[in-house]
Structure 1
């Protein structure tokens, strides 16, 4: 496991709810990290890691990710405000991306259409309502590089939502307008991808940090069976999107 060697700053208050810390790891790269401590639940760290793996495997441009170790000694001598909200141990690290900003409403149409379809389907699959955007703003969790026209997908700590509201999802998702435009052939292709990934669930979580996961009758916030059941909802994809699709 790579180690954090420097804690640089914390995400500014008001910019995002979780307010991760920007750090440097021993590989020389910069990351935003979310770890154990006040404000983060262990299940949210597992959701971040699981969704990052799933998104990467199905071809979404997710930010590079690592599980990083935060040494106790680094916290003891850190003067970054709010550092007490971070505990020693494994943290989820999302690679820092340069020259990007949060996707704006006027930029939505610049995102390739098939990528819009993929993200909408993926968020529905993992029960992630946390990608909203309207004329008055929202919490889109997508980074956009206007020069390279590149999108980066981030933040899945609110996925696997037990109170997922499908109606609200289709009212507020940034790519909600794409629901009726997804071809049946594309839906079938994505359904098969989701099925393949759901079938690999055990392999995807086998390297999760012990500190995050419920196992051997030791309490934990992340219960694998619950997440696995949600991923198996791929069977409903055609029912939810199929009636809306246009064959091409």
Structure 2
């Protein structure tokens, strides 16, 4: 979804961790588990985004990311002057941002207040709210990304949808789609 929304994500694919790697590998890999995994390509010469670099990130990128994370209910991109976990990589030479880690998307415990207090680019939300042209542009991008949603869900490994013995996992495509459709409600776009 992030790629379909045109966020600057690291190249990625679905990988597979062999059970023997877990069984016979170093103990610190045991928590990884075996089976299908989401794998991002290593990006050289990057740092975790620091609070001191936030202002160097382009205005459009900041807006894009706060809108996307709010849309998918991803509350796991936190950074304030006190620290946090932005799940963003910064390439200082080219001043490029790389978006990683969306494993908290579609969170049922998502809290608007917490999101807008802790999201690294929360201050950019009201810029979107105040820009008459931004809302229709973002709504269009959301519709384009939603066109890919069914295909993305169909290509996901089934093991990602099941916890154990047929018990549904954290991501339920129908529930996620309903969550994504919230952008069509006026209150989605309210000032914060």
TM-score, with length taken from structure 2: 0.89
Alignment of 1:178-217 (within 5 A): 178-182=124-128, 183-214=131-162
The 1:86–1:177 alpha-carbon spacing in structure 2 relative to 1, beyond 3 Å, is closer
**1:131 paired residue number:** 77
Q: Shift of residue 242 of structure 1?
A: 5.4
The 1:87–1:243 alpha-carbon spacing in structure 2 relative to 1, beyond 3 Å, is closer
Q: Shift of residue 243 of structure 1?
A: 4.9
Instruction: Identify unmatched segments of 5+ residues in structure 2.
Output: none
Over residues 64-108 of structure 1, what are the superposed CA-to-partner deviations in whole Å (9 max), with x where a residue is unaligned?
111111222333332x23222233221111111111111111111
Alignment length (residue pairs): 187
Higher fraction of helix? 2
Alignment of 1:43-192 (within 5 A): 54-78=1-25, 80-182=26-128, 183-192=131-140
Aligned equivalents of 1:89, 1:181: Cα separation in 2: 42
Q: Does 1:219 align with 2:158?
A: no
The 1:176–1:243 alpha-carbon spacing in structure 2 relative to 1, beyond 3 Å, is closer
**2:179 paired residue number:** 230
TM-score, with length taken from structure 1: 0.70
Q: Shift of residue 118 of structure 1?
A: 0.2
Backbone CA RMSD of aligned residues: 1.9
